[in-house]
Amino acid sequence: MAAQKNKHGLPAIKELENILDTCKLDLNPVDEVWPNLYIGNVAIAQNRNALMKMGITHVLNAAHSKQGSIGDQSYYGDTVVYYGIPAEDSSSFDLSVYFQLAADFIHKALRKKNGKVLVHCIMGMSRSATLVLAYLMLRQRLTLRTAIQTVVLRRAVYPNRNFLSLLLDLDIQLQRKRMLCPIL
């Protein structure tokens, strides 16, 4: 059976969910999903000793100011650079307004000598995974399908349907830009 495609020839949400369903990994507190780029849960983000042992230099909190998620720059002091995004894991939250900001934060951190980034939310499955996927698409030039396939080899993630739709929109935008200017 051929994979469903939308009008742009890109994978439909259901196909993306099927790729996500192929992951048979257990959900760990933290996993490295790209060199020096980690997705984790709130518990690991609040464990400064564990972060120090891992060599984490930057934390991107995709659940900033949400119940159960503490953290700001003062929590980490001068040992870690903190960036918080007050995202909701919902069917109506527009996380795409943070895609470029998050991708730039991650990219800048990874370019630093010994830079290691933890991107987290509460569970480390939806918001944080979505921002990492956006980074891989925007800064590493991966398609959405390839980005998801790359991440699920290393971590159990499951962005909600709203976030998958926003990532699909980003995939369409990037595909159009690359068709107009292939060097992008």
Give Cβ neighbours of residue 114 (< 8 Å, ≥ 6 apart). 55, 57
**Neighbour tally for 177: CB within 10 Å:** 11
| 23: annotated active-site residue | no
Residue 145 · residue 12 · CB < 8 Å: no
Neighbours of 4 (CB within 10 A): 12
Which among 45, 118, 121, 144 is annotated as catalytic? 121
Grouping H, G, I as helix, E, B as strand and the rest as coil, residue 159 is coil
Cβ-count burial 68-96 (b if 16+ within 10 Å, e if not): ebebeeeebeeebbbbbbebebeeebebb
Catalytic residues: 121
